Amino acid sequence: MNKFTMSLIFNAIALGVGVATLVLSLLNQIDNVKQVISLLSIAVICLSLSKFDKNTIN
pLDDT of residue 4: 87
Note the pTM of the prediction, 2 decimals: 0.79
Compute the CA torsion angle 52, 56, 10, 18 (nearest 10 deg): 80
pLDDT of residue 51: 85
Letter for the amino acid at 41?
Answer: S
The tens digit of pLDDT for each residue in 10-58 reads 999 999 999 999 999 999 998 899 999 999 999 999 999 888 865 545 5
